[in-house]
């Protein structure tokens, strides 16, 4: 099983600041099979990024993703009030697909 | 816009079977993969398994011995059965479209449409 480790666990930032979230895979995975999701309290996760760097339909361009080997990054260029949430990375390189433990982006 | 809606009992007794159904609307259930994902209270996400519209299945090895899935394309529904449940199976259960496709030389896999989720509690 490919374990995804997300860091930091919590990120405390102010609106307008840049957020950088990391996700490291324990085994090699194609960047095509790496996705990011946003989850707000009481809601289902929402797809943000697929294929490591492709924004899903309707996702603002302040969200971007990148990959370098087994390290993946989600960046939010300028935090809006609605961006404070938990973010999960997910890999689908085989069975089972797995999720990281999440990074909570909270208001400082 | 594809919409998914989970339905089923919110309370299941230990050792019994958890049964959920997901109804798909706004798009075709055919030629798609459909997954179940769960989230225990205050914890992260766990993939349970998928079923293709043809009935082909793929399960999480950790749950395989207790799990079965089925699909009814005439009703645009797919279902989950998890037997011998314990308190560890208490979670929010989501049905999800499991998007798997190739475009040119690149193949992608991700979960793009999610149901609202249904809370299932295992307790006597």
∠A11-A15-A18 over CA atoms, to 5°?
60
Task: Give the helix ranges, DSSP H, for B27-107.
Answer: none
Asked if residues A71 and A23 have their Cβ atoms less than 8 Å apart, the reply is yes
Per-residue confidence at A42, pLDDT binned at 50, 70, 90? very high
Q: Where are the alpha helices (DSSP H) in chain B?
A: none
- Residue A94 predicted with pLDDT over 90: no
- Which residues fall within 8 angstroms of residue A34, CB to CB, at 6 or more apart? A23, A25, A50, A51, A52, A65, A67, A72, A89, A90, A91, A92
What residues of chain B have any CB closer than 8 angstroms to a CB in chain A?
Answer: 44-47, 58, 60-62, 94, 99, 106-112, 114-117
- What's the burial of A6, exposed, middle or buried (CB within 10 Å: 0-12/13-18/19+)? buried
Please list every residue in chain B whose beta carbon sits closer than 8 Å to the beta carbon of residue A51: 106, 108, 110
**Pairwise CB contact (< 8 Å): B111 & A47:** yes
Task: Check A51 against B106: CB less than 8 A apart.
Answer: yes
Distance CA B18, CA B45 (A): 18
Give residue B14's pLDDT.
98
| Tens of pLDDT, residues B101-121 | 999 989 999 999 999 999 999
Note whether A47 contacts B117, CB cutoff 8 Å. no
Contacts of A31 in chain B (CB under 8 A): none
| B36's tokens | 């179940």
pLDDT digits (tens, 9 = 90+) for B59-93: 999 999 999 999 999 999 999 999 999 999 999 99
Q: State whether B44 and A96 contact (CB < 8 Å).
A: no
**Res B56: pLDDT:** 97
Binary contact (B108, A46; C-beta < 8 A): no
Per-residue confidence band for A28, with pLDDT thresholds at 50, 70 and 90: very high
């Amino acid at each position: 099983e490919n374990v995804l480790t997300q860091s930091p666990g919590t990120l405390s930032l102010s609106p307008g600041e840049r957020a950088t979230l990391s996700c490291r895979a324990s085994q090699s995975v194609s960047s095509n099979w790496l996705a990011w999701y946003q989850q707000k309290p009481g809601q289902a996760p929402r797809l943000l990024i697929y294929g490591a760097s492709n924004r899903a339909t309707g996702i603002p361009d302040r969200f971007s993703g990148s990959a370098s080997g087994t390290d993946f990054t989600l960046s939010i260029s300028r935090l809006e009030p609605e961006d404070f949430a938990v973010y999960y990375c997910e890999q689908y390189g085989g069975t089972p697909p797995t999720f990281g433990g999440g990074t909570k982006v909270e208001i400082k | 816009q594809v919409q998914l809606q989970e339905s089923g009992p919110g309370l299941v007794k230990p050792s019994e079977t958890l049964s959920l159904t997901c109804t798909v609307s706004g798009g075709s259930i055919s030629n798609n993969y459909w997954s179940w994902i769960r989230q225990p209270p205050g914890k992260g996400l766990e993939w349970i398994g998928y079923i293709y519209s043809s009935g082909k299945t793929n399960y999480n090895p950790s749950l395989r011995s207790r799990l079965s899935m089925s699909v009814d394309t005439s009703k645009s529904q797919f279902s989950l059965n998890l037997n011998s449940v314990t308190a560890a199976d208490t979670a929010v259960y989501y049905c999800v479209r499991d998007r798997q496709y190739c475009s040119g030389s690149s193949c992608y896999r991700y979960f793009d449409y999610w149901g609202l989720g249904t809370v299932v509690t295992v307790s006597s």
